[in-house]
Amino acid sequence: MPSKRQCTLVVLVCVAVLVYNLYFDRILQVAQSEDEMIAKVTEYEQARALEVAGSDKNKLIVILTESRSGSTWLGSIFEQIEEVMYVFEPLDPRVFSAKQAKLGLDNEEVTLRILSSICTCNFGVIPALGRTSIGSPPKQSKQSSYDLYKEYKKGDASFNQFCSTFEVRMAKCIRLYDIDILSQLAFTGCADLKVIHLVRDPRAVIRSRMVTFHELYSGNNHKIKNMNDSYIQSAARQLCENNLHNMNSDLASWSSQYHLVKYEDLVTTPLETVQAIYNFTGLTMTDKVEQFVVKSTQGKSTKSNFKVIKDSKAIMEKWKSWEVKNIRLVEEVCNEYMERLGYELFEDLPEST
């Protein structure tokens, strides 16, 4: 017959097993409820994504490019389309850097807020219209029928209404270095996104920056006045690596959302290239735009680096008069990028012989 001590031990073991089983069942219940909750959240997110994707109210076209690549001219041909609200360089950090620091936002968050505001016509905390958002009006291109600066100064509520009258919003961005950020716009209510990626021969871009601005950018995007060989290569490397990254992105694989345009094609076959861009965006190229394209590419040669009416073919060839040493510096770090886009090395060109 078991002793009293043995009976007590058996009871304790049974109690322990019962408690363990109850505890384990509770863990399973919690885990199951968490799985259900996660499933519901995922289901909601998927439903929300479909809801956003199914909307046709918020359309944004982004001209993704680098400074001195011909984007001002490209943007000017869209300003003339009545259903497009065109925003010139909204990602200018000189406009929103103070508020960005105060709010503790990183560059990616600021980029998303600004582009989402333009796409959804919901303006607020961060100035979303670049130089239009500051105290003095920017220079007008004279191509649009509206004055964006005057409309913006009427206040957010008024401007939200003004913005919503346009079928399409367009932003020209020379400070958007990572196209992957744009994939997140769908979750902010920007339902319809198209990217026009404008590229140009890096030798022409770097030379134009040196001549126009008398400065370059280092690898961390700080301006450098001392334009020695290392800084020329640093600026060229940043330019080419950024563009290669964007060309290799997941978004770039979607032909319905991404369209690559070479500046040189705009110059040599302007009407055909512009028509292809309009086909991609779903817009209609008017007679007015067609006349402007012809006029702006066949104008007289100009000393100004900011005119949109000029002898484009002469401008396109200017880099060939650059110092050969500098040409070689750019080619050395941009070889892969140039080969990808079909830009020949200077030593292989007839003009160099």
Query: Would 22 be classed as within a structural domain?
Result: no
pTM for the predicted model, two decimal places: 0.76
CATH number at residue 186: 3.40.50
Q: pLDDT tens-digit profile of 42-58?
A: 343 333 344 444 445 68
Question: Is the same domain home to 300 and 328?
Answer: no
Measured distance CA(242)–CA(281) in Å, rounded = 24
Sign of the torsion formed by the C-alpha atoms of 176, 182, 185 and 187:
negative
- Distance, CA of 290 to CA of 271 (rounded, Å): 7
Same domain, 83 and 117: yes
Give the residue numbers spanning the domain of 215.
Answer: 201-248+323-353
Could you tell me if 82 and 104 lie in one domain? yes
Q: Say yes or no: 216 and 285 in one domain.
A: no
Q: How high does pLDDT run on average in the chain?
A: 78
pLDDT at res. 89: 86
pLDDT by residue (tens digit) across 185-220? 999 899 899 999 999 999 999 999 888 877 776 545
> Is the separation of the CB atoms in 60 and 194 below 8 Å?
yes
Give the separation between CA 63 and CA 247, rounded to whole angstroms.
14
Cα separation, 123 vs 114, whole angstroms: 8
